[in-house]
Amino acid sequence: MSLSIKKIKNSLKNSATFLSHGFSALMETLRDELGINETHARKQIEGLFDAYSLASYLPDEVYDAQEDIYSYKESSHIMFECSTLIGASEETVTILSSLLTDILPPESCLHALFWASPKIGPMIDEMERQRNQGSEVLNALAHRRAEFYRKGVYRSLTKESHFILRDFRLFLCISIPRKSIDDDRLVLGTLREDIQNNLKSINIACQELTVEQVISLKREWLFPTDGLYEDQTQYNPNTEIRHQISDIEAKMRVKAHQIDIEREDSTQVIKCLSVRQFPKTPMQWQMGDLFGKMFNTSLQIGCPFLFSFVVRIKDKDKVMAALDAKYADEGQNAKQPFIAKWVKNFNKKYAEIEELRERLNSEDSLVDSYYNVLLYTTPQNARRDARRAKDIFKSSHFDLRTPSGLQLQTLLASMPFTPAEGMFDDYKSFGRLRSLTSFNTVNLLPIQGEWKGSGRFAQIYPQRRGQFTPIYFFDNVVRNYNVVIIAPPGKGKSFLMNDYIQSLLSQGGFVYIIDVGGSYAKVCDLLDGQMIDFTHENPISLNMFSTIDAHAKDDTAFKDVHNQLIQLVGMMARPSGNISDEERSYIEIAIEMMWLKYKNTTTITLIAEYLELNEDPISKNLGRLLHSYTKDGRYGRYFEPPCSLDFSKNLVLLELGGLDKNKELQKIVSKLLMYQVGNAMYYKPKDIPKSCLMDEAYEHLADDGKNGNANFANEGYRRAPKYGGNFITIAHGMDDYENNPTAKMCYDNAFFKIFLGASKSTIDVLKKSNQLDPYGERLIRSLKITNEYSEFVMICEENITVHRLIVEPFSRIVNSTRGTEVEALKRLRSQGIPKHEAFSQVAQEVYGYE
C-alpha cells in the first residue's frame, strides 16, 4: 500500500514539474509571437507598483502598545535588539539549543536578523562633539577626522583592501500562530521573559524596540538610503503600520537578479541572495567569518548587508511519527536484496534516517528554515559585492546563490514578521525550505559580532572588520583606567601615543609625559605644550610636601599620600636596598611630626635633622643616609625649595634625558614625578581626563630587584583613578615587565593591555601565564602596519580584540616619524610656510589627498 502511494506522489510531482516547464515554454512562445519582450514585462511590473504600493504586500497592521506586541492577520509577534556573541563554547550552544527544544512552542518562528548598519552618523557626530574642547588646531584635527570617517561608511578607507565602517546589530523576532488577543499576550509575555533570561545566561543582553524603531528599520531595509542617519519616525496609531513603512519618494524596480530603489538624485540596489546548502558540521564560533574573515582582509563584504535566518519549530511528536513510519517503510525495502543493491546510496540514506531518529529521541528536534543575505549596494558595485559575499560564504562551506526571478519574494521573506504571515508557506511551495536539527540550527544562527567598545566616543579605534569602536579608558565600572602598552620598535608606538595625546587634549584633558630621549618633543611643540628638561645645569625642585593640599578636610590629602612619602624617603635613604621595618617606623614618625609642625614647608632637611636628634642608632643612621638630599647635600637643590614644577598647561613633557649620567638620581626623580603628577591630578576636576605616560617604562621603574618600589608604584596606580586619571606605561616586550617587580606591578594592575606586536619571548610569557590562547597568539602574529594604518591587539578582562588606528592623511603627517616626511616638513617650514599649511602640502604630496 505504501509503495502505491509513493508511486502516485512521484507521478504527481513529475507531472507538476512537466506542467511547470510546459507552461514556461508556452509563455515564452507567446511572448515571442506577440512581441512582448523583457522591457515590456518589466514595465508591466513597474505599472503594478505604480498602481499598488508595496504596502499592499506587507503584513504590518497594528501595534498593541499595552503589551508591546504586533498582532497581525496570521500571527502575533515581538521583536527586540540583542548584543552579539564574540565566540562561543559548547555550553553556549547547549543553552541556546533549549530555545528551540524547550522554550518555543510548535509552529512558532524564530527570526534572527544581523545587520551591518551604516547609520553611524550620530556616533561620528558625538566623537567630534567630545573632541572640540581643545585648541583651534585640535578642533580642526577633530573635524578632519570626523569627515574622514563619514566618507569611510560607503567607501573604503584603504587601498589594499575594502575596509568600511559600520555598526553590527542583532535583532530577534518571535512569532506565534494567531489565537485570541488575550492568549497571544499571555504566551508572548511568557516567551519574552523566558528568552531574555536564556540569552542573559550567555551574556546576550536584550533591549525592547519602540514601534518607531521597528518602522524605521523596516523602511531602511525595504527602501535603503545612502545617508548616515536613521529616519526619525512618528508612529500614528490611526494608520496601518504598512503605510507608515512606505517611502513615497522611492520607486522600486524589481529585476530578475536585483531590486533597484530609485530616487530623484540616486539609485540604490538591493541584491538578494539565498543559502542553498549549509556546511555539514557548522560551529557557532565560526559564524563570525561570514561577515568578514579575521585573517584575510580581502574577504570582507564591502557594503551594508542584512543576514536573515528564519526557523519554524516543528511538532516533535508529529515528526517522530512520520519518521518512524518512514523508517519502517525503508526497513521493509532494506530486506529486498534487489533494492539494497541497485538503489543508489540506499544504505547510506537508511543509516541517516536511523541516526536522525536517535537524535530526536534524545533532546534534539527538527525545524524548517531558510537563510537569506541582502546586500545594499550601488549599480556599479552590485556584481562585485555579490561575488565577494559568495566567496566569503563558500570559504565557510556555504552555497550562496542569487535566486533569479525571486528577488521580491526573497526581500519580503527577510523582513521582520513576514515569515509567519505567509512567506514561510510561500517558500515551502517553491521548495526553498531546508530541514535542520536544532543543534545545527543553533550553530548556524547569525549572532556573532564584534565588541562594541567601552565608554564614550571620544577615542575611536575601529576593529578589523569595520565595527566602529570607542575605547575610552576612563569609562569602566571597575574604576581602573590604567594601561600598559607592549610596542616593539617600528610597530607604530609613536603614532598611537601621539594620536592618544591629541584625543585627550581635544577633550580639555591633561597629559603628563615622563620620557627619556626627546621622542615627544615634536608633539609638545606642535600642541603648544610645556617641556621641562631636567639637567644638572637646570635644576628643578621636586619638593614632595609643598604640593600637598594642607587645607583639606581632616587632612585627607596628606593621608592619601602618606604611604608614598614613606616609600620615597626610604628610597632616598637606601637607593640600592630595602629599608627594614624599624627604619620604616622611624621614617613614618619623622614625616608625621614634621608635617604636623611645618605643613607645606616641610623638607628632607627637617626630616633628616629630626631623625638624627633621636638617640636610637637606627634613627641616627637614617638621618645621615639622607644627607645627599638635604640643603647641604649634592642633590639638595632638587628637593629643598618649594616645588617649581608648573602643571598649568594641559600638556607637560618631563624630559629626563639630561640625567642619564646619574642613574641613581634619575630613578628617584622619575618616581617623584609620578608622585607629583598624582598631586597635580588631585587639583584638577575629577570629570576631566588626566593621563601620565611613561615611555620606556623599564628605565623609570627599574629597581634591580632590590628596592620595594612596587608598593610605591601601586599607590600611584591606586590614587590616579580616584582623581579621574590613569597611568600608561610603555615597553618593548614582556621581559621589561617580568624582570622588574615594580614594572610587573604596573602590568598586573592595568585594566587595558595593548600589544602593537610581540616578540617570541613576549608570546612565550603570555602563554605560560595563560593570558594567551592559540587564537590570541594568531591575532598578535597577524598584526599589520602599512602607510595607511597600524593595528593593535587589546586584552581587556576576557575580551581580546584587534583594532586599527586609521586616520586621515593630515593626521598621518602630523604624527609621522618617517624621515622623508619629517624632512619635507622642515623644508617647507624653512620657506616660511605656516605649520598647518605645511602639513596639508605634505599630506597631498604623499597620499594624494588631505
- The full set of domain ranges for the chain reads 62-119+163-314+368-444, 316-364, 473-536+651-817, 541-644, 820-850
Residues in a beta bridge with 108: none
Taking alpha carbons only, the member of 730, 122, 188, 90 closest to residue 420 is 188
Give me the phi and psi of 668, to 5 degrees please: -65, -45
pLDDT on residue 663: 79
**What is the pLDDT at residue 468?**
97
- DSSP 8-state symbol, 102: I
Instruction: Pick one of 3.30.70, 3.90.1530, 3.30.519, 3.40.462 as the CATH number of 62-119+163-314+368-444.
Output: 3.40.462
Name the pairing type of β-strands 70-71 and 510-515.
unpaired
- Report the pLDDT value the prediction gives residue 15, as an integer from 0 to 100: 40
- Largest interatomic CA distance in the chain: 122
Beta bridge partner(s), residue 796: 752, 799
| Helical segments of 513-603, H only | 521-526, 556-573, 581-598
Q: Which fold has domain 473-536+651-817?
A: Rossmann fold (3.40.50)
* Dist CA 729 CA 696 (whole Å): 8
Distance between CA 635 and CA 653 in Å, rounded? 22
From residue 330, how far is each of 6, 326, 343, 455 by CA, in Å? 12, 6, 12, 61
CB distance 846 to 821 below 8 Å: yes
Neighbours of 505 (CB within 10 A): 27
The answer to whether residues 462 and 453 touch, using CB atoms and an 8 Å cutoff, is: no
Rounded to whole angstroms, the Cα distance separating 141 from 131 reads 9
pTM for this prediction: 0.86
Long-range CB contacts (within 8 A, 24+) of 715-719: 715/561, 715/563, 715/564, 715/567, 716/564, 716/674, 716/675, 716/678, 717/482, 717/745, 717/746, 717/749, 719/560, 719/561, 719/564, 719/678, 719/681, 719/682
Neighbouring C-beta atoms of residue 343, cutoff 10 Å:
13
Q: Return the C-alpha cell found at 710.
A: 612596587
Mean pLDDT by runs of 10 across the 850 residues of the chain is 45 40 43 52 55 81 94 96 95 94 94 98 96 88 94 92 94 96 95 96 95 97 96 92 93 95 95 97 95 90 97 79 60 55 55 62 82 98 96 96 96 97 95 92 97 92 96 88 93 91 94 86 86 79 93 92 92 86 95 96 96 94 95 91 90 86 83 89 91 80 59 80 92 88 86 94 92 94 92 91 93 80 84 84 79
Q: Could you check whether 62-119+163-314+368-444 and 473-536+651-817 share the same CATH topology? A: no
Burial class (CB in 10 A: 0-12, 13-18, 19+), 674: buried
As a 3-state breakdown, the chain gives helix, strand, coil percent values, each rounded to 5, of 50, 15, 35
d(CA 660, CA 232) in angstroms, rounded, equals 61
